[in-house]
Chains A and B, each alone.
Chain A
Amino acid sequence: MRTYVVRRIGLLIVIVFIAFTANFLIPRLIPGDPIQAELAQQAAITGNQGVNIAAAAKALDAKFQLDKPVWQQYLAYWDDLFHLDLGYSIQNYPETVGSEIRATIFWTFGLLGFSILVAFVIGCLLGAALAWPTAPRVIRALGPFFMVLGSIPQFLIGLALIFAFATILRILPGGGVIESTQVVAFNFSTIFDILHHSILPAAALILGLIGSWAVGMRGMMISVLGEDYILFAEAKGLSPGRVFLWYGMRNALLPQLTGLAVALGTAVSGAILVEVVFNYPGVGFLLFQAISQKDYFTIQGVVLVLIATLALTLFIVDILYPFIDPRVRYEQ
């Protein structure tokens, strides 16, 4: 058990090290001077060499010590990371990248967490129902339907939902997270407004995520229903519903939790574009704005946060999993 945890921590460190080093090296390996080019472009966009640009350039030069040898830059890069210092934003100077991310990440966590949870519950129920030998036709048809939805990018589902519910039916808002007339305060009407705006983006993610869990659950359920203890439970004369729920689903559900870890990866990249489609103020939308503004530091910061969050989540899932399901041993 201890060796497993130590090895898993080792893997986490290796992953973060590789990813962060790649993030440092890629810009330096590709020819050209992106910072110079981007600042020049900024100057061109604003029309003159504004105060912001000059100040930003100065801050960046000092910050990144670009005149120093690469290995010193590399050490400085890690030093900044250990201090959780991601530098200044170019698009919103003098705001820091860290504060930009702090302002947006809760929206993303909220949207993603809720959507993944709902999709997980629906997907597992649907998958279990699909494995039931006498499932109604309607439910049988839902399996392929959600599989197809799962294969197309989630932002396309989002666009279709906007067209249906915001453009044609006009019953749900097609973007943003809060009405401009809404006075933001911690009260019922604000929360209602936020939830109202979150229905469509969450629906886009949920519809896209259900399929993979339904397929996985169906497979697990079929193999569990073939186990001896199911036969024994039936022989004891337990009701089919009880056998199905308490002997079948409970055992099939646990391996599904590993799927949760894999799904997180696709959900994160899917959520970036869903946020863009809905102008939802999360890190994905921040990333989109940063790309269109060529805000190099914000892009890098968001990428680092995405990688670190995902690596950490997978680590936690891997460590917790044997506790949740005793059938899994730490030693493989």
Chain B
Amino acid sequence: MSVALPTATQEVEPPEGGILSLLRRGRRDGRVTGLLIGGVVLFVCIILFGVLGPVFVHQSLAQVGAVDPNLPPSGAHLLGTDGQGRDVLAAMIYSTPETVKIGLIAGAIGVGIGVVLALLAGFFRGPVDAVIGAVSDSLLTIPGIAILIVIANHLTQLTAISLGLAIASLSWMVPTRLMRAQVLSVRERTYIAVARMGGESELEIAFREVMPNILPFAAASLVWAVSSAVLASVGLAALGLGTGDVSLGSAVYWMMTYSAVLRGEWWWFGPPMIIIGLLFLSLLMMSLGMDRFVNPRLNDRG
């Protein structure tokens, strides 16, 4: 299962050192797959849409009542206008970064917590491991969305940061479990014993010797965590618990409130659905691509 790729990577002149040469080497030994590159490219495009868009479209057009409502696409409004009198293109340009931001904040914090807990649990074992394991096992079976609804419902000032933190507090369990398993395998390797004989303290070994080896797994967890954070934030906002009016989730909330779908206003409900879909597609491609990056043995199998 591979995806047709932009051939740009092959056409680039061979660079000296740096990330690009690393990329080419990875491409040759099959660790960097087309799927991974495609996912990253798509994700970057979505971010660029939100970063470069404001250069062409002014923010005032994304305000409620800025333009006539319910207009189909035209020269003046490339994607038409929604039922609240907002230019759909402008609304999308200013909504997309908010959703991506919440996903990245929550994902990064969740995986950060995961790395530290996995190192502590996997390296020190004993009661530390037992407590971390018990707490993460229990939290895993609680539907995160339920707790998030309670939190979001009580935060009077719901910002990207506070929502990101709330989501992160419930998304460290899977990264912790994934990376703990890896820590358990790394700590038995010879060079750890060498480092121990060299007089490094346990904490130094854990963070200086073991941690670099679990970073690929942290990257894979990050993609998973960002994806589930975006899912949670879009879901919350669609339920009416969003961070203000500019996010992809609240775009969904308003189009549901005004029954844009039953009214057939495709230019209104289409764009947020497509952007959300592409966002998840890019994350899926990255995580499938990462599977091989994390576990090169997968290359042998179909």
Closest residue on chain A to residue B137 by CB atoms: A11
One of B18-26, B88-96, B120-128, B235-243 contacting the partner: B235-243
Closest residue on chain B to residue A264 by CB atoms: B143
- Note all chain A residues with C-beta closer than 8 A to B256: 159, 276-277
- Counting CB contacts under 8 A, is B141 at the interface? yes
B143 & A268 in contact (Cβ 8 Å cutoff)? yes
Contact pick for A291, options B149, B151, B263, B266, CB 8 Å: B149
B142 & A307 in contact (Cβ 8 Å cutoff)? yes
- Counting CB contacts under 8 A, is B281 at the interface? yes
B264 & A269 in contact (Cβ 8 Å cutoff)? no
- Counting CB contacts under 8 A, is A162 at the interface? yes
Q: Which of B100-142 contact A (CB under 8 A)?
A: 134, 137-139, 141-142
One of A18-26, A92-100, A227-235, A247-255 contacting the partner: A18-26
Contact pick for B143, options A11, A30, A162, A269, CB 8 Å: A269
A34 & B240 in contact (Cβ 8 Å cutoff)? no
Beta-carbon contacts of B238-273 to A below 8 Å, as 1s and 0s? Answer: 111100000000001000100001111010010001
Cα distance A268–B276 in the bound complex, in angstroms: 20
For A147, A276, A287, the residue with the greatest tally of chain B CB atoms inside 10 Å of its CB is A276
Q: Which of B7-29 contact A (CB under 8 A)?
A: none
Closest residue on chain B to residue A147 by CB atoms: B284
Cα distance A300–B149 in the bound complex, in angstroms: 9
One of A64-72, A148-156, A178-186, A320-328 contacting the partner: A148-156
Q: Which of A154-171 contact B (CB under 8 A)?
A: 155-156, 159-160, 162-163, 166-168
Q: Which of B142-176 contact A (CB under 8 A)?
A: 142-147, 149-151, 153-156
- 29 of the cross-chain contacts (CB-CB < 8 Å) are A15-B138, A15-B141, A22-B150, A26-B154, A27-B150, A30-B151, A30-B155, A32-B154, A32-B156, A37-B156, A148-B284, A151-B280, A152-B281, A156-B277, A159-B256, A163-B266, A168-B264, A174-B262, A269-B144, A272-B239, A273-B238, A291-B149, A291-B153, A291-B239, A303-B147, A303-B149, A306-B143, A310-B141, A310-B142
Q: Given A167-B264, A287-B239, list of 8 further CB < 8 A pairs?
A: A151-B281, A276-B239, A288-B239, A288-B240, A291-B149, A292-B240, A303-B147, A307-B146
Residues of B within 8 A of A (CB): 1, 134, 137-139, 141-147, 149-151, 153-156, 227, 231, 234-235, 238-241, 252, 256, 261-264, 266, 269, 273, 276-277, 280-281, 283-284, 301
